Homo-oligomer: A and B are copies of this chain.
């Protein structure tokens, strides 16, 4: 090719492509079912087809894209059942994370969780949806990490990525913000007193509600937004 990659980001070209394409899928910029033309992507990112192919292969292994031999790749399109199955899995995984967090978080982790959670109450009052979404991602990531189990963390984050395209705009639903915070509150309280079972149930319940909220979008509509905001269970 020609000059250096514009994005100075780390890793090989393939890694950059995986991130770049993956981000566009996760953020909804590329919509489920959309065709991923190797030549176009190569041109778009100013690389040859080889790294694009490798990236698509890896994304396929991650489940974000679907590859039909000799027929090109598309952004993974999931059936209604599979979507439900993923939300269900997410609920179970979050429950595990919350339960483990309640049992295993260090004092520091608990404190940090509590502080952030309390701070976020302000965002709810202000109705700062975008900011709350950032916080929300953070909150859940804390739970995943707090489980102190690398593999559970990987499974959970992976599932979250695959659900992300179907989660956009969930905070648009009126009142969702306050409800989300209250649900978080139940989880945090349970974790603070080390009650794993309660934390697990609360987390599972929390995701289930998000799932129902998201079902609205899954039915018919595909996500439309193109922001770069990461996404998590509300």
| Chain A residues near B (Cβ < 8 Å) | 11-12, 14-15, 50, 53-54, 57-63, 69-70, 81-82, 85-86, 88-89, 92, 96, 149-152, 154-155, 159
Check A89/B151 contact, CB under 8 A, given A50-B50, A57-B54, A58-B57.
yes
Tell me, in angstroms, the Cα distance from A63 to B155 when the chains sit together: 11
How near does chain B come to A49, taking the closest CB pair, in angstroms?
11
- Least Cβ–Cβ distance between A62 and chain B, in angstroms: 5
Cβ A150 vs Cβ B85 within 8 A: yes
Complex formed: what's the CA distance from A15 to B60 in Å?
A: 11
| A60 and B58 alpha carbons, distance in the complex (Å) | 8
Nearest B-chain residue to A82, judged by Cβ? B150
What residues on B are CB-neighbors of A57 within 8 Å? 14, 54, 57-58, 61
| With contact pairs A61-B58, A61-B61, A88-B151 given, residues A11 and B82 touching in the complex (Cβ less than 8 Å) | no
Contact indicator A89/B149 (Cβ below 8 Å): yes
Q: Is the CB of A151 within 8 A of B58?
A: no
Q: How far is the CA of A60 from the CA of B82 in the complex (A)?
A: 25
Check if B151 sits within 8 Å of A69, measured CB to CB: no
Chain B residues near A150: list those with CB within 8 A: 81-82, 85
A224 to chain B, nearest CB (A): 24
Q: How far, in Å, is A211 (CB) from chain B's closest CB?
A: 12
Residue among A12, A82, A89 with max Cβ neighbours from chain B (10 Å): A89
Cβ-defined partner of A159 (8 Å) among B92, B96, B151:
B151
Q: Can you list 18 pairs linking A and B with CB atoms under 8 Å apart?
A: A12-B69, A12-B70, A15-B69, A50-B50, A53-B54, A54-B54, A57-B58, A59-B61, A61-B61, A61-B62, A82-B151, A88-B149, A88-B152, A89-B149, A89-B151, A89-B155, A151-B159, A155-B155
Distance in angstroms from A44 CB to nearest chain B CB is 20
Which residues does chain B contribute within 8 Å of A63, judged by CB atoms?
Answer: 154
Contact present for B96 and A92 (CB under 8 Å): yes
How far is the CB of A10 from the nearest CB of chain B, in Å? 9
